[in-house]
Amino acid sequence: MSHIGSYDQRVKNFDWSIAEKELGYHDGDPINIGWYCSDRICEMGKSDKLALIWEGHSGDVKKYTYNDLRVNSNTIGAFLKELGIKNDDRVCLFMDKIPELYIGLLGILKIGAIAQPLFSAFGDESLHVRMENAETKAIITQRKHVAKVRKIRDTMPFLEHIIIVDYDGKHPLREKETAFRMDEAEKVEKLDIHPTKAESPSLLHYTSGTTGKPKGVKHVHYSLISQYLTTKWVLDLHEDDIYWCTADPGWVTGTSYGIIGPFSLGITQCVLDKGFGADNWYQFIDKYKVSIWYSAPTAIRSLMKAGEEVVKKHDLSSLRHLASVGEPLNAEAVIWSEKVFGKPFYDTYWQTETGSMMICNYPGMKVKPGSMGKPFPGITAAVVDPDSYEVIDEPGKPGLIGFKPGWPAMFRTYWGNEETYRNKFKNGWYIPGDRSSIDNEGYYWFIGRDDDVINTAGHLVSPFEVESALLEHEAVAESAVVAKPDDVNMEVVKAFVTLNPGYEANDDLELKIMNFIRKKLSPLAMPQEIEYVKSLPKTRSGKIMRRLLHAKEWGEEIGDTSTLEDDE
């Protein structure tokens, strides 16, 4: 681990108090992430250091120092307080990757409220189920997204405020709507920071499971301890680094490592609020001299596809360390990056529920392309038997990943769903639901998920949600949704449907069904293909067996089909 000694030494001498000490935190003290990410950095004498360099899709640039971060988050916090938002109230952030999103999150945390970031590409129905679950009191959004909020607002009596950060006065505001312009607002120099404690709730991130509605993953302010230290040791951020995390704060990578990690370390980071393009990404690295880059396998595979010529057009010599998360990082991508950028992408494995990185490759440690690396110091990990949940000690033998609960950033519950939360713990292990093996040197090798959840381009999609949307269409009698292989996205969503009598299986109907479900699903969950079938494989009790359809798509052995009609 470069300047911090060897991995083995780190593990041996590890204690989370290392992070507590560096942050000046003592057990029982107030701990507020908003304060740690802005006020504290200013108190350390870095008020004038750049915190955020932002570039929008039309090329406009905005820059904020740590003092700007401090004062603007105060201003947003004070504005929310004025509206009547109190600690523990849920405030949704529903914006593109604009500065108000990054700074707004800190403002929400400063007043002790709970930030609920949601991906701005969500349609009104995706937004609705998540806000309904959280009983969100206020939503901060942009003009371009407000129509989606207006469509559902009347069904949400708990929603008291709709705050628009770029209101231009052209159309009258409706009831409950308020304009707030961060850059023009009168600055609040001093704000009473809510004395949140270690276990006070901080963030609510939504994630998809196999069945039912998306789950609200509750995090607490103490998560800072893990997020701070993993950012420092795994991403290897130094004082002069320019950091770029390509993730959107609608997802956990974009908050844990796109806001909390880098800002609590007082690092300069840049944000590009623009869609993916190999040329514009390289240009961005070149222009801002990005040194640490945290991205995702689908993006890396897209860059591979764009080829090496476009790489040569730019000066990427500023890059010092590259890391990846979200889906399996294939060995070819690691080898390609080493060849093209002169350094490999270091894989990291974790999830919304873990809140911080769990299994990683560390600077200075030998990278085995295709492996996720080793557990972060302080994390007790194992591969356990899927039936007994006993530790499997045999190198190379597959099992379920298990983590001993208790690391600081571990989620504390699923919002309003304690039972599902408890079910994630077996025989003293937290079970994230992924399969892996461990080799004789302690490296973890990802095998796959242990459920039917589809991971497309790093985004989890519940087959159940897609099936339900399909079933609402009058032509669809039954549906089954599985992953199918894809070069760039690794997995894409594929739907099988049977039709009701009177409907003809043709392209025109496929288009109609697609347009129908588009309104209900997140764009990420949209099937790439609908295949009409006469019937779906089922168990005796009528449960559709996605497993068989999945195996067919992946060209895998279907195995013993005598169980086809048996319940699992």
The count of other CB atoms within 10 Å of the CB of residue 517 is 22
Binning the chain into helix, strand and coil, the percentages to the nearest 5 are 35, 25, 45
Among residues 165 and 334, whose Cβ is nearest to ligand WT7?
334
Alpha helices for 342-430 (secondary structure H): 418-422
Angle at 345 between CA 554 and CA 279, to 5 degrees: 90
Task: Report the residue number, 177 or 450, with the smaller CB distance to ligand WT7.
Answer: 450
- Total H helices, total E strands in the chain: 19, 28
We find the least distance from the C-beta atom of residue 424 to ligand WT7, in angstroms, to be 11
Cβ closest to ligand WT7, residue 174 vs residue 366: 366
Residue 325 binds ligand WT7 (CB under 6 A): yes
Site for ligand WT7 in 62-101 (CB under 6 A): none
The smaller minimum CB distance to ligand WT7, of residues 196 and 455, is found at 455
Residue 134 near residue 158 (C-beta atoms within 8 A): no
Contact 83, 161 (CB under 8 A): yes
Q: What are the residues facing 308 on neighbouring strands?
A: none
Give yes or no for residue 207 binding ligand WT7 (CB under 6 A). Answer: yes
Q: Report, in Å, the least distance between residue 347 CB and ligand WT7.
A: 5
C-alpha span between 483 and 400 (Å, rounded): 20
DSSP 478-530: EEEEEEEEETTTEEEEEEEEEEPTT---SHHHHHHHHHHHHTTS-GGG--SEE
- Report how far residue 213's alpha carbon sits from residue 206's, in angstroms, rounded to the nearest whole number: 10
**Choices 280-288, 346-354, 526-534, 541-549; region in contact with ligand WT7 by CB under 6 A:** 346-354
Q: Which stretch binds ligand WT7 (CB under 6 A): 103-111, 379-387, 430-438, 491-499?
A: 430-438
Element housing 138 (H / E): strand 138-141
How far are the Cα atoms of 47, 511, 512, 513 from residue 507, in angstroms, in the given order?
A: 59, 6, 9, 10
Q: Is there a contact between 117 and 97 (Cβ–Cβ < 8 Å)? A: no
In the complex with ligand WT7, which residue's Cβ is closer, 116 or 253?
Answer: 253
* Least spacing, CB of residue 257 vs ligand WT7, in Å: 9
360-419 binders of ligand WT7 (CB under 6 A): 372
When the beta carbons of 296 and 480 are compared against ligand WT7, the nearer one is 296
Beta bridge partners of 216: 206
Q: Name the segment binding ligand WT7 (CB under 6 A); options: 34-42, 94-102, 268-276, 322-330.
A: 322-330
Q: Is 349 in the site for ligand WT7 (CB under 6 A)?
A: yes
Residue 347 is a binding residue for ligand WT7 (CB under 6 A): yes
Residue closer to ligand WT7 (CB basis): 193 or 367: 367
Name residues contacting ligand WT7, limited to 1-40 (CB under 6 A): none
Number of residues that bind ligand WT7 (CB under 6 A): 22
Closer of 327 and 553 to ligand WT7 (Cβ)? 327
Smallest distance, ligand WT7 to C-beta of residue 450, A: 9
Asked whether position 328 contacts ligand WT7 by CB under 6 A, the answer is yes
Name which of 74 and 352 has its Cβ closer to ligand WT7. 352
Residue 327, interface with ligand WT7 (CB under 6 A)? yes
Can you tell me whether residue 303 is helix, strand or coil?
helix
Q: Least CB distance from residue 294 to ligand WT7, whole Å?
A: 10
Coil, strand, or helix at residue 76? helix
| CB nearer ligand WT7, residue 134 or residue 217 | 217
Distance between CA atoms of residues 390 and 388, nearest Å: 5
Report, in Å, the least distance between residue 379 CB and ligand WT7.
14
Which distant-in-sequence residues (6+ apart) come within 8 Å of 91 by Cβ? Answer: 80, 85, 108, 113, 114, 115, 116, 136, 137, 138, 139, 140
Considering the complex, what minimum distance in angstroms separates the CB of residue 296 from ligand WT7? 8
Among 112-120, 225-233, 381-389, 428-436, the segment contacting ligand WT7 (CB under 6 A)? 428-436
Which residues of the chain form contacts with ligand WT7 (CB under 6 A)?
207, 252-253, 325-329, 347-352, 372, 432-434, 446, 449, 455, 460
